[in-house]
Amino acid sequence: MSAGQRSRRCEGPTDLHLHSDHSDGTEPPAQVMAAAHRHGLRTVALTDHDTTSGWAEAAEAATSLGMTLLPGMELSARHEWRSVHVLGYLFDPDDTTLRALTDRIRDSRLSRARTMADRIGRDYDLTWDDIVAQTAVGATVGRPHIADALVARGHVRDRGEAFSGILSPAGAYYVDLYAPDPITAVAAIVGAGGVPIIAHPAARAGLLPARMVDGMLAAGLAGFELGHRENREPALGALRALVARHDLIVTGSSDYHGLGKPNVPGENTTSDEMVQRIVARATGSAPVYA
Ligand code: AMP
Ligand code: FE
Ligand code: FE
Ligand code: ZN
């Protein structure tokens, strides 16, 4: 990074968690950037699940709208039964270890989605082609795409109904995907020069065990996304105390998914000071300034 780039500053309002159709958002990256801009944002991150393929289009669109882009990703991880999402910012997208990890996760997501489609197809009128029709070419496939196929076939009203019923982990059709443990995920992002932040850490699944959090901090975990609509007390309060104790980074974001969720760009934001801390800590890539 040049001295010129380093001296530039990202200006808010800032939203560091948005999805495009390169994963389970419903809009291409340029449209996501346009939506962010309409909602008054000036700095944004594209954080598709397990892929960086949307970065180039997002950078082009963001800068043409006068916004700064922080390239990012939401990396899938799992601790026991609990799915853990690790946001990574400003890492090197060509890092071989991280790429091998995301390739493996995406491969597993594909075979898992096919197996789930087969299982669902025994009871409902649904084929793999229905899911392909809901998934952009090359996108990271997930249950949201199966949900959209179920909606298109008229089996459920919306993604929410699909997730609480047919796609539920408690149901007969669910298949696990391969996901690394959270410490491996954090270490992979750090190894690629990025800054790892746990997404929606106080959502329904509740807090990770303290020992796991300590392990992630030792591996270089930078902070927590405390501003997220799915976070709940009392877990949130416990994390606020942890963050204060370790002087960690705190972010706030929308987790926008286009029409896939009601979340609106900018509904939670990240302070300029915290964005600056993320940029200062990263060595893998730089913000793309307007
Ligand atoms: P997967 O990683 O394929 O198991 O799918 C999980 C993804 O589905 C998460 O990234 C969420 O964005 C999305 N998701 C989870 N629950 C819901 C819901 N109730 N409505 C819409 N999207 C959801
Ligand atoms: Fe998602
Ligand atoms: Fe997530
Ligand atoms: Zn997300």
Residues 98-102: what's their mean pLDDT?
Answer: 98
3-state secondary structure of 144: helix
Amino acid 237 reads G
Q: Is the CB of 258 under 6 A from ligand 1?
A: no
Predicted confidence at residue 26, as pLDDT, reads 98
Ligand nearest to the CA of 110: 1
Predicted confidence at residue 2, as pLDDT, reads 54
Predicted confidence at residue 6, as pLDDT, reads 53
pLDDT of 129-146, one tens digit each? 999 999 999 999 999 999
Given a contact cutoff of 8 angstroms between Cβ atoms, the answer to whether 210 and 218 are in contact is no
> How close is the Cα of 49 to the center of ligand 2, in Å?
7
Model confidence, pTM: 0.97
Residues 68-96: what's their mean pLDDT?
Answer: 98
Tokens of 45: 């991150």
Given a contact cutoff of 8 angstroms between Cβ atoms, the answer to whether 119 and 173 are in contact is yes
The chain-wide mean pLDDT, for the chain, equals 97
Sheet with 223-227: strands ordered across: 14-18, 43-46, 68-79, 82-89, 195-198, 223-227, 249-252
Predicted confidence at residue 223, as pLDDT, reads 98
Predicted confidence at residue 176, as pLDDT, reads 97
Predicted confidence at residue 29, as pLDDT, reads 99
Predicted confidence at residue 127, as pLDDT, reads 98
pLDDT of 171-201, one tens digit each? 999 999 999 999 999 999 999 999 999 999 9
> How close is the Cα of 149 to the center of ligand 1, in Å?
14
Residue nearest to atom 2 of ligand 1 (CA): 142
Q: Is the CB of 260 under 6 A from ligand 1?
A: yes
Amino acid 138 reads G
pLDDT of 108-124, one tens digit each? 999 999 999 999 999 99
Can you tell me the distance from the alpha carbon of 267 to that of 18, in angstroms, rounded to the nearest whole number?
11
Q: Is the CB of 37 under 6 A from ligand 1?
A: no
pLDDT of 27-67, one tens digit each? 999 999 999 999 999 999 999 999 999 999 999 999 999 99
Predicted confidence at residue 8, as pLDDT, reads 83
Predicted confidence at residue 144, as pLDDT, reads 98
Strand partners, 224: 198, 250
> How close is the Cα of 257 to the center of ligand 4, in Å?
8
Does the pLDDT value for residue 3 go beyond 80?
A: no
Distance of CA 90 to the CA centre of its chain: 14
Give the burial class of 267: count Cβ atoms within 10 A of its Cβ; 0-12 exposed, 13-18 middle, 19 or more buried: middle
Residue nearest to atom 19 of ligand 1 (CA): 160
Q: What is the CA radius of gyration of the chain?
A: 18
Given a contact cutoff of 8 angstroms between Cβ atoms, the answer to whether 285 and 93 are in contact is yes
Ligand nearest to the CA of 261: 1
Does the pLDDT value for residue 265 go beyond 70?
A: yes
Distance of CA 166 to the CA centre of its chain: 23
Q: Is the CB of 159 under 6 A from ligand 1?
A: yes
